[in-house]
Amino acid sequence: MDESPSASARGNWLERLTHFLLREPENRGELVEILHGAFERHLLDADALAMIEGALNVGDMQVRDVMVPRSQISVIDIATPPEEFIPQVIDTGHSRFPVVDGNKDNVLGLLLAKDLLRYYANRQAFDLRDILRPAVFTPDTKRLNILLAEFRDTHNHMAVVVDEHGGVCGLVTLEDVIEQIVGDIADEHDKAEQHVVPGRNGLWRVKGETEIAHLNEALGIDLPNEDFRTVSGLITHQLGHVPRRGEVVDVDRCHFRVLRADSRRIHAVALRLHPAPARSETSH
């Protein structure tokens, strides 16, 4: 007995899908195309696709792309008495602090907030140097997938980032790397101003979810925000599609370069401001 036309069509469709999914991709672009095809056929959900794309991207990203820049690092000077720096620890809510001697280029070690319990147990015998953990240093050019493997093998959660001259240029945490795979991990200590972070050479790192009104206020610019509330929405509208990492677009004085995005939205961009146009003088 011959198969019905509908059964034959289903068989052909399954054969084509199986061939599509099982063929070996020859490059990164073909692999991403296969993954998007699986998503469109409901074999992957959006979250799974985004995480797989994030895992692929960490091999192309460097520490400098995700680090907290030097200007934003909260440090403790070894000469500061505990009663003076403990309020800082409480206010920031961080769990780890670089301890320095005089300036940020002279890192002595890391202070874990939980180790301050020793201060309350015996204030007279407390010495900050006794409880410091060794600091781990990493170059700003290291790829994130290598750093992630090192974090895993050494059980470290933070590294001090140094530039080619050996100066401290930032901090990077395990959470910073994981966020490139699973998306932003917000906690109760995240503040709005962390959505717009100054970097080096006039660059700013801006989260895609940043409200345009907040970006305008922070940088003294005037991007349109009548139709789009967030930076991600504005850039996606300008390009006509959800962009991939590396795509660029200019809006007014802003030159945006996408640092991280998935199939649904932009997670982070690099922003450089073009100079403001000179005002023309009119003669009277």
Q: Tell whether domain 191-273 is in CATH 3.30.465.10.
A: yes
pLDDT of residue 191: 47
d(CA 114, CA 130): 14
Integer Cα distance of 66 and 271 in angstroms? 14
Residues in CB range of 97: below 8 A, 6 or more apart: 74, 75, 76, 89, 110, 111, 113
- The Cα–Cα gap between 99 and 104 comes to 8
Q: What are phi and psi of 158, to 5 degrees?
A: -150, 145
pLDDT the model gives residue 151: 93
Q: What letter does residue 262 receive in the DSSP assignment?
A: -
pTM of full prediction above 0.85: no
Q: Cα(266)–Cα(254) distance, rounded to whole angstroms?
A: 16
Which structure tokens are listed for 266? 């932009």
For 36-56, b/e burial (b = at least 16 CB within 10 A) is eebbeeeebeeeebbebbbeb
Q: What share of the chain is helix, strand, coil (3-state, %, to 5)?
A: 40, 25, 35
pLDDT of residue 188: 46
Amino acid 56: pLDDT: 80
27 Cα distance to chain centroid: 25
Residue 131 has pLDDT above 60, yes or no: yes
> What does pLDDT average to over the chain?
82
* Superfamily (CATH) of domain 65-176: CBS-domain (3.10.580.10)
State the Cα–Cα distance between residues 131 and 85, nearest whole angstrom.
15
Domains of the chain, by residue range, sit at 7-44, 65-176, 191-273
Q: pLDDT tens across 33-59, in order?
A: 777 777 777 777 767 777 787 788 788
Mean pLDDT within 252-281: 80
Stretch among 78-87, 134-143, 162-171, 223-232 having the lowest mean pLDDT: 223-232
Per-residue pLDDT band at 192 (split at 50, 70, 90): very low
Per-residue pLDDT at 94: 84
